[in-house]
A and B are shown apart, each in its own frame.
Chain A
Amino acid sequence: MELLVALAIGVLFTVGVYLVLSKGLLRILLGTTLITHGVHLLLLTMAGLKTGASPLLGEKAEAYVDPLPQALILTSIVISFGVSAFFIVLAYRAYRSGGMDDVEGSKGERR
């Protein structure tokens, strides 16, 4: 199971990096969201997948799942959600102000 998830993380990172390196602003945007998805999965996998029962006292199990990474992921998801929303709005504003929907249009002026 870990191997499968690790492969999925690899694919997410690869696709994300490919998209970030492309020219269209929308593709770059999607690339960053894919990379953050990969990172969140990584965080989940690194603590070990399903090593025991839910971390509740009533379960009386021998082993419990480590709940900390899930708390971290929750925090991280909320942050990346906010940042992505801001990024998308910003990209839309840049597009509306003319010509900045790809990398070519967003180059700085020559000084």
Chain B
Amino acid sequence: MNNLLVLPLLIPAVTAVILIFLKERIGLQRMISAISACLNIAVAAVIVYQVSTDGIQTLYMGGWIPPYGIVFVADMFAALLVLVTAVVGAACLFFSFASIGEERERFYYYTFFHFLLTGVSGSFLTGDLFNLFVCFEVLLVASYAMIVLGGTRVQLRETLKYILVNVVSSSLFVAAIAYLYAATGTLNMAHLAVRVAEAGQGGVMNVIAVVLLLVFSLKAGLLLFFWLPDSYSAPPVAVRALFGALLTKVGLYAITRTFSLIFVHDLGLTHTLIGWMAGATMILGAIGAVAYNDLSRIFNYNIVISVGFIAFGVSVATADSLNGVVFYLMHDMVAKALLFILGGMIIAATGTEQLQQMGGLIRRYPWTGWMFFILALALVGVPPLSGFAGKVMMIRSGFGEQEVALSLIALASSFAVLYSLIKVFREVFWGGERSEEEIHPLRYKAMMAPAAVLFVIVILMGIGAETVNGYVAQAGSVLADPVQYINAVMKE
């Protein structure tokens, strides 16, 4: 029992409620939000420390011993993701201060922001499948509000589609839960793992597994990403950064968790399916990233590529590749948030999202330019930076497991990332100046601060890969050997 586990939910949730009452006091709203975000990072860091010294932490809600009641579980994987979520959330928050505008701030932007963080942290920490659904809904409802906040025509249109897709997939999620409950009589994930192992993963279980995979793929944008590029282009950049960094990753987390803990007895079916979905996602994402000349489209298709890449690691399912998944997931959350923040600065500096209308920004904003360049290398996976370690672990074990075709696709997708981002770099920062827009120097500094922090993290995660890997290996070992997770939850 460790009551600390509820704080990553409680802090943002309480903050959000307090902010509702401070509608007109924007300064106060910002101050409380900032304090809450910093507090959240501190708590998450303590949880990571506790998990690293004392092993998996659990919290039985209301004292109900599992399999009864709802249980919160922090293994290293969940704890690390909660920490990264807190850090990325704080960076996006500080970027919002500089870029979101008073109108939105007055209409409960920060409230939705904190509810979103509540849902994301809850999804990572919960050890109960139905509770996972509830946490998904918390973050989704917050995301609906954040996409549409501002109410422009484009936003209304894209929100309609986004909600429709998610309502349908949530219905399927509940249907899958119903089937699973009928087949096993439990919804506690650790207990499910035991029951599925006892009953054997036959026909019915495989159907349920595939329905769950479908649901999580819709949320993560794995193969079923048709809604993603449009929806993520609609809201302001600060919101895009938050979505791009966190939302798809929650779906990926759910896939990783269910297919490393519960449905692990028929790898030939489920994991092969994930593998081919991942391959198709990488190829289609690469085509999209190369095809467009529109900043937000290129970035959104880069999200799609990385989703495919991480799912590839899940499908290989060796201890090494799962280490890689954890490492790359952390890297990608930080790096994607930074990518969108830098993109936001570019859009603010040029007043457009079309690459053809940009150029020559390197003279006015050299720091932004070189940060973007180095970030692009990090996303591709060039060695001293954060993307390298995860990529090398996944691809090496991909080749080791004879998944040659998928591994080659994964390698090739890095080239698409490189090409698309260097194209952006060349068009935006080189050449003659094409725009007269100017970011106010103070505002520029306020935007630069969170970007610089994330940038330092990207570099440190690369240089200190050995240290990070100590924690990652602990997370990966639980994923590869789910008995540890089951024993920690069901010990009494």
A binds B: yes
Partner of B160, one of A25, A47, A72, A111: A25
The answer on a CB contact under 8 Å between A82 and B141 is yes
Q: How far is the CB of B275 from chain A (nearest CB, A)?
A: 29
Q: How far is the CB of B348 from chain A (nearest CB, A)?
A: 21
Tell me, yes or no, whether A97 is within 8 Å of chain B by CB. yes
Known: A39-B174, A42-B178, A86-B144. A20 touches B137 (CB 8 A): no
The answer on a CB contact under 8 Å between B174 and A43 is yes
The answer on a CB contact under 8 Å between A106 and B137 is no
Tell me, yes or no, whether A7 is within 8 Å of chain B by CB. no
Considering the complex, give the chain A residue whose CB is closest to the CB of B145: A86
Q: What size tier do the contact residues of chain A reach?
A: 35 or more
Tell me, yes or no, whether A5 is within 8 Å of chain B by CB. no
Partner of A97, one of B144, B156, B163, B171: B156
Cβ–Cβ < 8 Å partners of A111 in chain B = 292, 294, 297
The answer on a CB contact under 8 Å between B178 and A36 is no
The answer on a CB contact under 8 Å between A83 and B167 is yes
Cβ–Cβ < 8 Å partners of B133 in chain A = 76
The answer on a CB contact under 8 Å between A39 and B178 is yes
Q: How far is the CA of A93 from the CA of B174 in the complex (A)?
A: 29
Cβ–Cβ < 8 Å partners of B163 in chain A = 83, 86-87, 90
Cβ–Cβ < 8 Å partners of A94 in chain B = 156-157, 160
The answer on a CB contact under 8 Å between B182 and A100 is no
Partner of A108, one of B167, B174, B178, B230: B230
Tell me, yes or no, whether B175 is within 8 Å of chain A by CB. yes
Tell me, yes or no, whether B168 is within 8 Å of chain A by CB. yes
Cβ–Cβ < 8 Å partners of B295 in chain A = none
Cβ–Cβ < 8 Å partners of B453 in chain A = none
Tell me, yes or no, whether A22 is within 8 Å of chain B by CB. no
Q: What size tier do the contact residues of chain B reach?
A: 20 to 34
The answer on a CB contact under 8 Å between A39 and B171 is yes
Tell me, yes or no, whether A53 is within 8 Å of chain B by CB. no
Q: In the complex, which residues 17-35 of chain A have their Cβ closer than 8 Å to any Cβ of chain B?
A: 20, 25, 28, 32, 35
A interface majority secondary structure: helix
The answer on a CB contact under 8 Å between B179 and A46 is yes
Q: In the complex, which residues 37-61 of chain A have their Cβ closer than 8 Å to any Cβ of chain B?
A: 38-40, 42-43, 45-47
Tell me, yes or no, whether B440 is within 8 Å of chain A by CB. no
Q: How far is the CA of A82 from the CA of B153 in the complex (A)?
A: 23
Partner of A79, one of B137, B148, B164: B137
Tell me, yes or no, whether A65 is within 8 Å of chain B by CB. no
The answer on a CB contact under 8 Å between B174 and A76 is yes
The answer on a CB contact under 8 Å between A47 and B181 is yes
Known: A32-B167, A90-B159, A106-B160. A39 touches B175 (CB 8 A): yes
Tell me, yes or no, whether B319 is within 8 Å of chain A by CB. no
Tell me, yes or no, whether B451 is within 8 Å of chain A by CB. no
Tell me, yes or no, whether B400 is within 8 Å of chain A by CB. no
Q: How far is the CB of B248 from chain A (nearest CB, A)?
A: 20
Q: In the complex, which residues 78-108 of chain A have their Cβ closer than 8 Å to any Cβ of chain B?
A: 79-80, 82-83, 86-87, 90-91, 93-94, 97-98, 100, 106, 108
Q: In the complex, which residues 133-165 of chain B have their Cβ closer than 8 Å to any Cβ of chain A?
A: 133-134, 137, 141, 144-145, 148, 151, 153, 156-161, 163-164
Q: How far is the CB of B469 from chain A (nearest CB, A)?
A: 39
The answer on a CB contact under 8 Å between A90 and B174 is no
Tell me, yes or no, whether A69 is within 8 Å of chain B by CB. yes
Q: Given contacts A32-B168, A108-B230, could you give 20 more A-B pairs where the C-beta distance is less than 8 Å?
A: A20-B164, A25-B160, A32-B167, A36-B167, A36-B174, A39-B175, A39-B178, A42-B175, A46-B181, A46-B182, A72-B130, A75-B134, A79-B137, A80-B167, A83-B137, A83-B141, A86-B163, A93-B156, A97-B151, A100-B156
Would you list the 7 A-B pairs with minimal beta carbon distance, nearest first? A46-B182, A43-B178, A46-B178, A94-B156, A39-B174, A32-B167, A42-B178
In the complex, 10 of the A-B residue pairs with CB atoms within 8 angstroms, ordered by the A residue number, are: A40-B174, A46-B178, A79-B134, A79-B170, A86-B144, A86-B145, A86-B163, A100-B153, A100-B156, A106-B161
